[in-house]
Structure 1
Amino acid sequence: MLDESLRQRLEALNRERISAPAVRPRPTAVAPQVPKSRRIDPPHTKQKHHALLERGEVVSNPRGTHLMVSLPASELWPDGDSFLQARHEQLLQSIDFESDDIRQSFIQAFPSRFVGLDLETCGLSGSALFLVGVARFHDDRLLVELLFARNYAEEASVLCSLSERLAGAETLVTFNGKSFDWPMVSDRWRRYLLDREAPLPDLAHYDVLHHARRRWRDTLPDCKLQTIERMICRRSRTCDIAGHMIPGAYDHYVQTGQTAEMEQVLYHNAVDLVTLVDMAMRLAG
């Protein structure tokens, strides 16, 4: 039998509130500091061929001002001028001057009376265009001219400068231009009533896409411009921007003035023009 004093102490302890064992608290997780979303200029925009906006000059005409970037195509296609000259001389030996084939018209118009055209726009038909890329010969070398609207208000001035470059041309060269580029130019031309001042010239239109499909549809996975560029012209581009991103890139540039994506867009257009002329000459035979 337990001692009476011991029993009383045990009962007293039983009636006391027993504290829970001390537990070391878990350290509170600190949420990482997440920076606000921002666009980061990719490293490749520092490369030489992406300093295009810095090379631009402001052009004034009756419809206002815009930026023009002019560069020799040889910067993008080092052997281009010699290839075009040799190929043209070869084709001249077999040309049929009585033929109504558009490719024959191109051979006759080359080099001084043809214009290559490629647009960058804010969307599909009816939207604004902000960049008109032109390829033409000047001083015996292929020249790429990028007529760039720095904001939406400069579109009319860009079109006015395009009019000057179409004067004297006989053949227009495009890639899918019959379906998109030329109808877009015509629509924006009428919007700004430029047709009252200088109607668009009636040019022979050499749409390279249609001839490329006939020539290569059975040998290439598709006849997209960059597929032909890679598999036929044997050139691959770097630092490019996807076409579907271009409208958003322009709007971002207008809103913020940040140039990283816009440099990519200008480069994209310039390379498209070089490949356009390359394909036109390859398909002319």
Structure 2
Amino acid sequence: MRSIRERLNSMQPETQSRTTPPRSTNGIDLIVPGSELVTTRGSHFVVEQRITDPTDGGLSSVERTLPTILGTGADDTQAIDPSEILFLDTETTGLDRGTGTHVFLVGLGYYDGSNFIVEQHFLRGLHEEPSMLESVLERINRSRLLVTYNGRGFDWPMIAGRLILHGHRDFNQPMHWDLLTSTRRIWRNRLQDCSLGNIEREILGVQRFGDVPGYMIPDLYFAYLRNQDAAPLRPVFSHNREDIVSLARLADQLIFAHEAPHLALSHPIDQVSFGLSRLNHGFIDEALELICPLLESPAISSDLRFRASRSAADHLKRRARFDEAMALWDQMSELTGSASAETALYPLIELAKVCEHRQKDYRRALQYVERARNLVELHDWNQERPAIVHRYARLMRRLERAKSRKQDR
């Protein structure tokens, strides 16, 4: 089987000029409205479109919200203006990030006043890659925040790899907001599928018609390299442009969720998931306001309920807020229904620990351990039995010693 590089080389027309690609009746300039851009490293094809702001000005609060989204300090995002944000999406000849895979279309979105600009840089032939990379790098260097979807895992490594391959070794990556990470934190527990297409449909309310499936795009470009017929690439440009617009809309939705979660997130699962994310960033009180009222909601699965309750209680425990943590453990001990050893025993053991070690209330601690021991015997949880028996025996000894000291007085 031939490698991707061999396939690409075979598709380059032998008589093709290094500066001017051969024209056909369906040349790219006749299919999509664009023009040739000449750079110091050659030329390539660029499409530029001005569209109405897809966020209706929603990104104006990005400076205030971004530190909590990215978990960075306020100084890192100080004075970021929407005009300094660059949305990036690529179309490639494959999913392998090796040197044989090329980026043939780079979509860039940015603000110019009240307008949202979508630039699409396209390779009419692979020899145009140095020119395209120079233009893309120039735009990246003028930005302070790069916004992608799965860009940390794919788009940016692809761009960076091609830049290095062509001698650009001193470029700086701007701050990077990969929307996939933020999206999964909020919607993965409910939607499972967090592909951009599914997020468009379920969260943004966008339904694409006539869109080209992503898996077909490499073959469409390979065919173009063979015959220079650009007509089948028209939906590829539309697909890439819509991806860029969706990045802006999704960024706006995520900012709204962080500023007003009760308004932006209507489903209990999404609110609890967002609360878990806020817990992990240290916003305990804000997270508890989201999580606690929803723990008994029938929309919340037992698994999510347990994870949210445990995470909240553990954070409270680490901050020595034991009364609040105990209230959650008490609630958990009534709701678990002995679904598993972990969910049934965890709250009882945590309650016993606080009673024994902090409150020195050995009798109450023993009551919790007795409940745990009964569950172990009822369900024959042999793995957990030794620890429970050991804790029970220690508490009995402590009670005996306390009783002896009382009698000695």
**Fold-level similarity (TM above 0.5):** yes
Aligned residue number for residue 217 of structure 1: 188
Contact (CA 8 Å) 1:52, 1:69: kept in 2 or not?
no
Aligned residue number for residue 170 of structure 1: 144
Shift of 1:108: 4.8
Aligned residue number for residue 205 of structure 1: 176
Show the 5 A alignment for 1:101-180. Answer: 101=71, 108-123=79-94, 124-126=96-98, 127-180=101-154
SS in 1 for 2:46: strand
Shift of 1:106: 6.9
Shift of 1:53: 4.0
Task: Give, as a single letter, the amino acid of the residue that structure 2 aligns with 1:61.
Answer: T
| Structure with the larger helix share | 2
Q: Deviations over 1:99-153 (max 9, x none)?
A: 9636976795241111011011111212111111000012421111000011111
Aligned residue number for residue 64 of structure 1: 42
Task: Give, as a single letter, the amino acid of the residue that structure 1 aligns with 2:34.
Answer: G
Contact (CA 8 Å) 2:67, 2:77: kept in 1 or not?
no
Higher relative contact order (CA 8 A, sep 6+): 1
Determine the C-alpha separation between the residues in 1 that align with 2:154 and 2:59: 28
Where structure 1 has 5 or more consecutive residues not aligned to the other structure, the ranges are 1-49, 75-79
Aligned residue number for residue 229 of structure 1: 200
Contact (CA 8 Å) 2:31, 2:234: kept in 1 or not?
yes
Shift of 1:268: 0.5
Aligned residue number for residue 239 of structure 1: 210
Determine the C-alpha separation between the residues in 1 that align with 2:103 and 2:111: 24
Aligned residue number for residue 43 of structure 1: none
Q: Deviations over 1:44-87 (max 9, x none)?
A: xxxxxx9984311100101110000011233xxxxx44x341x2
Task: Give, as a single letter, the amino acid of the residue that structure 2 aligns with 1:125.
Answer: R
Contact (CA 8 Å) 1:63, 1:157: kept in 2 or not?
yes
Aligned residue number for residue 192 of structure 1: 166
SS in 2 for 1:179: helix
The change in CA–CA distance for 1:102 and 1:52 in structure 2 (over 3 A counts) is: farther
Q: Does 1:267 align with 2:238?
A: yes
The change in CA–CA distance for 1:103 and 1:128 in structure 2 (over 3 A counts) is: farther
Determine the C-alpha separation between the residues in 1 that align with 2:67 and 2:190: 31
Determine the C-alpha separation between the residues in 1 that align with 2:36 and 2:72: 35
Determine the C-alpha separation between the residues in 2 that align with 1:246 and 1:176: 18
Contact (CA 8 Å) 1:58, 1:65: kept in 2 or not?
yes
Task: Give, as a single letter, the amino acid of the residue that structure 2 aligns with 1:155.
Answer: E
TM-score by length of 2: 0.51
Contact (CA 8 Å) 1:106, 1:206: kept in 2 or not?
no
Where structure 2 has 5 or more consecutive residues not aligned to the other structure, the ranges are 1-27, 259-409
The change in CA–CA distance for 1:51 and 1:108 in structure 2 (over 3 A counts) is: farther
Show the 5 A alignment for 1:4-153. Answer: 53-74=31-52, 80-81=53-54, 83-85=55-57, 87-89=58-60, 95=65, 101=71, 108-123=79-94, 124-126=96-98, 127-153=101-127
Determine the C-alpha separation between the residues in 1 that align with 2:221 and 2:132: 15
SS in 1 for 2:110: strand
Shift of 1:89: 4.5
Percent identity, aligned pairs only, is 32
Shift of 1:240: 1.0
Contact (CA 8 Å) 2:36, 2:43: kept in 1 or not?
yes
Shift of 1:283: 1.1
Determine the C-alpha separation between the residues in 1 that align with 2:30 and 2:184: 33
Q: Deviations over 1:194-223 (max 9, x none)?
A: 22xxx2223110000011000101221410
TM-score by length of 1: 0.72
| Largest Rg, 1 or 2 | 1
Aligned residue number for residue 18 of structure 1: none
Task: Give, as a single letter, the amino acid of the residue that structure 2 aligns with 1:275.
Answer: S
Determine the C-alpha separation between the residues in 2 that align with 1:273 and 1:103: 27
Shift of 1:96: 8.0
The change in CA–CA distance for 1:84 and 1:158 in structure 2 (over 3 A counts) is: same
Task: Give, as a single letter, the amino acid of the residue that structure 2 aligns with 1:160.
Answer: E
Task: Give, as a single letter, the amino acid of the residue that structure 2 aligns with 1:180.
Answer: F
